[in-house]
C-alpha cells in the first residue's frame, strides 16, 4: 500500500484505559478559553476590590458619632436623642420616601447601595475584561491561524505582527523565522526530487527503447530475461512519474472551482475498468450529487489513486466500492472501500508515508504499486483542507474516507 504524511486513523483504539481514567480525563478535559478566564479574573478582582471598599465603609460608619436624623413633618413629637450624646442639626428635609433615623438605617442603606454597585461592577468588569482580553490575545490568534495553515502545508504565510516590541511580537517573529526555514528546506527537497526525476526520465526512456529493440529480435532463451528487465524498467518509470506528481502537487497552488465529485468519479471508473477486469475485481458504486470547491485535475488524481489502490491491493474475485455523499453538517464525503488482505491497525498511520508497503497486501513481484499513490492522495487532501481517514475492515481490506469541509460545498 502506498503513502505520505500522517492520516487521521479511525480504526486504532487506545488500550489499557480504565473507566476511572476515562472519567477523570473527561472531567479535567473541560476548560474555559483563555479569553474567558482572563475576563472572569478581571471581573473577580474588581468585584473583590469593590467589596473590600464597601466593607471598610460599612465598618467605619459603625464607629461614627450619632446624629439627629430628620423625621416626617406629620410627627407631632419632638426629636428624642440619648442624653449622653450631643444633638446636631443635619439640615435634612423631611421626606416620605426615605426615613433614616439611626446608624443601623445608614448601614442598611450602604449595604443595599453596595450590592447594586457590586453587581454593576462585576458586569462592567466582565465586559471590559472580555474586550481587553480579546485585544491582548489577538496576536496569539494570528499565530494559531498561521500554525493551522502550516499544518496544512501552506508554508508561504507570514504573520508579520505590527506594533511595539514585546513578548508576543517576539513570538510571532520567531514563528515567521521557523516558517521561512521550513519553506526553504521543503523547497530544496522538492526541487531535488523534481530535478532527479526529470534527469531519470531520459535514460529510463532510452532503456525502454533499447529493451524493446532487443525483445523484437530475441530468441526463446533470451526473451524471459529481457522481459524481466523491461518490467523492472517500467516500475522505475512509474516511480519517477509518481515522484513528479507528488512534487507537482506539493508545489502547486490549487485553482479552486466547483467540481462535481460524482461526475468526476464516473470518468475515473471508466479509466480503471480495464485494469479491474484484468485483476478480477468487481467495482460497485453509489454516487450522489456531491459538489465541492477544488481543483479538477488534482481531485481526478485523488480519485484515480484511491480507486487504483483498491484494485491493486485486492485479490481475485474481490471488489471495490465507491461512494460519494453530501452531508449538510459534516460536508461532502468520498468513500472508497475494498476487499483484500487484513491490514494491521499499527500500519494505518503509516499508509501515507512515501514508499511504505504493507506486508501481506501485495507481493513485490506482482504488485504494480510503488508506495507513492496514497502520499499523493494525502498531499491533495491537504491542499483542499479535507480530512483523510483510513479504517481497517475486519474481514480484510481497507476503507479510505475523504471528507471535504462544509464550506467547500457549492
Same domain, 283 and 397: yes
Same domain, 398 and 348: yes
Among 154, 170, 193, the domain boundary falls at 154
Same domain, 162 and 146: no
If pLDDT is split at 50, 70 and 90, which confidence band does 101 have? Answer: low
Among 154, 173, 191, the domain boundary falls at 154
For residue 336, what pLDDT is reported? 95
If pLDDT is split at 50, 70 and 90, which confidence band does 367 have? Answer: low
Task: Give residue-wise pLDDT tens across range 292-332.
Answer: 988 888 899 899 999 999 999 999 999 999 999 998 888 89
Element (DSSP H or E) covering residue 404: strand 398-404
In a domain, 8, yes or no: no
Same domain, 135 and 213: no
If pLDDT is split at 50, 70 and 90, which confidence band does 255 have? Answer: low
What's the domain range around 128?
31-154
Average pLDDT on 111-125 reads 83
For residue 1, what pLDDT is reported? 42
In a domain, 163, yes or no: yes
Helices 296-312 and 373-383 cross at an angle (nearest 10°) of 150
In a domain, 3, yes or no: no
Same domain, 237 and 335: no
In a domain, 42, yes or no: yes
pLDDT at 102 over 70: no
In a domain, 22, yes or no: no
Same domain, 49 and 100: yes
Same domain, 305 and 363: yes
| Percentage above 90 pLDDT, the chain | 19
In a domain, 225, yes or no: yes
Total domains in the chain come to 3
Average pLDDT on 5-17 reads 41
- Average pLDDT of the chain is 77
DSSP state of 69: P
Same domain, 246 and 272: no
For residue 7, what pLDDT is reported? 41
Same domain, 195 and 213: yes
CB atoms within 10 A of CB 148: 12
Among 154, 173, 190, the domain boundary falls at 154
pLDDT at 276 over 90: yes
Same domain, 83 and 138: yes
In a domain, 5, yes or no: no
Best mean pLDDT range from 139-143, 159-163, 340-344: 340-344
pLDDT at 225 over 80: yes
Residue 160: CATH number of its domain: 1.10.287.130
Same domain, 284 and 222: no
Residue 285: CATH number of its domain: 3.30.565.10
For residue 203, what pLDDT is reported? 86
C-alpha cell of 42?
Answer: 478581571
Q: How far apart are CA 36 and CA 53, in angstroms?
A: 26
For residue 100, what pLDDT is reported? 55
In a domain, 372, yes or no: yes
Same domain, 390 and 315: yes
Amino acid at each position: 500500500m502506498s503513502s505520505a504524511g500522517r492520516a487521521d486513523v479511525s480504526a486504532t483504539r487506545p488500550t489499557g484505559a480504565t473507566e476511572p481514567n476515562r472519567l477523570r480525563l473527561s472531567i479535567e478535559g473541560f476548560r474555559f478559553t483563555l479569553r474567558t478566564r482572563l475576563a472572569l479574573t478581571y471581573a473577580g478582582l474588581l468585584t473583590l476590590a469593590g467589596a473590600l471598599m464597601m466593607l471598610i465603609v460599612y465598618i467605619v460608619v459603625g464607629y461614627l458619632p450619632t446624629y439627629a436624623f430628620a423625621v416626617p413633618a406629620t410627627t407631632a413629637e419632638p426629636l428624642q436623642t440619648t442624653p449622653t450624646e450631643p444633638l446636631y442639626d443635619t439640615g435634612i428635609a423631611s421626606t416620605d420616601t426615605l426615613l433614616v433615623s439611626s446608624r443601623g438605617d445608614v448601614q442598611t442603606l450602604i449595604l443595599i447601595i453596595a450590592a447594586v454597585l457590586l453587581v454593576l461592577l462585576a458586569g462592567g468588569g466582565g465586559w471590559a475584561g472580555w474586550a481587553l482580553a480579546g485585544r491582548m490575545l489577538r496576536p496569539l490568534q494570528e499565530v494559531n491561524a498561521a500554525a493551522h495553515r502550516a499544518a496544512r502545508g501552506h508554508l508561504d504565510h507570514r504573520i508579520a505582527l505590527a506594533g511595539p516590541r514585546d513578548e508576543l511580537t517576539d513570538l510571532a517573529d520567531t514563528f515567521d523565522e521557523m516558517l521561512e526555514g521550513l519553506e526553504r528546506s521543503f523547497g530544496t527537497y522538492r526541487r531535488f526530487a523534481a530535478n532527479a526525476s526529470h534527469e531519470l526520465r531520459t535514460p529510463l526512456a532510452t532503456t525502454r527503447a533499447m529493451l524493446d529493440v532487443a525483445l523484437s529480435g530475441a530468441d526463446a532463451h533470451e526473451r524471459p530475461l529481457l522481459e524481466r528487465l523491461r518490467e523492472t524498467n517500467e516500475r522505475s518509470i512509474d516511480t519517477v512519474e509518481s515522484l513528479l506528481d507528488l512534487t507537482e502537487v506539493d508545489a502547486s497552488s490549487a485553482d479552486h472551482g466547483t467540481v462535481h465529485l460524482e461526475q468526476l468519479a464516473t470518468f475515473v471508473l471508466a479509466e480503471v475498468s480495464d485494469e479491474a477486469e484484468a485483476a478480477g475485481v468487481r467495482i460497485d458504486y453509489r454516487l450522489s450529487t456531491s459538489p465541492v470547491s477544488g481543483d479538477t485535475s488534482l481531485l481526478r488524481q485523488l480519485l484515480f489513486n484511491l480507486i487504483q489502490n483498491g484494485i491493486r491491493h485486492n485479490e481475485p474475485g474481490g471488489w471495490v466500492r465507491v461512494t460519494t455523499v453530501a452531508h449538510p453538517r459534516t460536508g461532502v464525503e468520498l468513500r472508497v472501500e475494498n476487499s483484500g488482505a487484513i491490514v494491521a491497525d499499527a500500519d494505518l498511520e503509516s499508509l501515507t508515508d512515501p514508499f511504505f508497503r504493507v506486508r501481506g497486501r501485495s507481493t513485490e513481484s506482482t504488485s504494480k504499486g510503488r508506495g507513492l499513490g496514497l502520499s499523493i492522495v494525502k498531499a491533495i487532501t491537504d491542499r483542499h483542507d479535507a480530512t483523510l481517514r483510513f479504517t481497517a475492515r475486519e474481514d480484510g481490506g481497507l476503507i479510505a474516507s475523504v471528507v471535504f469541509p462544509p464550506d467547500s460545498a457549492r
